[in-house]
Amino acid sequence: MGMNVGSASGEDEVNATINTTPLVDVMLVMLIIFLITVPVVTQTIAVNLPKETNIVRVTKPENIELSVSKDGDVYWNTKLIPDMEELVKRLGKESVKNPQPEVHIRGDDKSRYESVGRVIFACQRAGIMKINFVTEPPARGG
């Protein structure tokens, strides 16, 4: 029975190099997979997106200013509207005028989208054709 205890010269050779060929092969395969799948995932329909515009708001006396507070309360100028039916009724009276007044909605940045959505729905039910959102302009140079 024999046993191998080392080399004949007495020096043990240690192979300290790492074979990187399998690692490079795996990385190249992954790169090819990503190059093939990314265009498939990001397909969209070609559309012309609107450009950002900053139009100065022209305030006319006949415009309707609706404000939505952070608590969801709706105000017609400065008067609190108790419920949505009252809002629809008042907007219905305004919608039959010729020319029809614009509705400017001012929503608090802490208000829920649902509250503003209810006001938009009330405008739709009343037959209002032009709704604008009043926002704070971006900071200069930003």
Q: What is the pLDDT of residue 110?
A: 85
Report the C-alpha gap between 91 and 105 in whole angstroms. Answer: 13
**Domains in the chain with CATH codes:** 64-133 (3.30.420.270)
Q: What is the pLDDT of residue 58?
A: 67
Q: What is the pLDDT of residue 57?
A: 64
Q: Is the pTM of this model over 0.85?
A: no
Given a cut of 70, the residues of the chain with pLDDT beneath it are 1-12, 40-59, 138-142
Report the C-alpha gap between 93 and 115 in whole angstroms. Answer: 22
Q: What is the pLDDT of residue 123?
A: 93
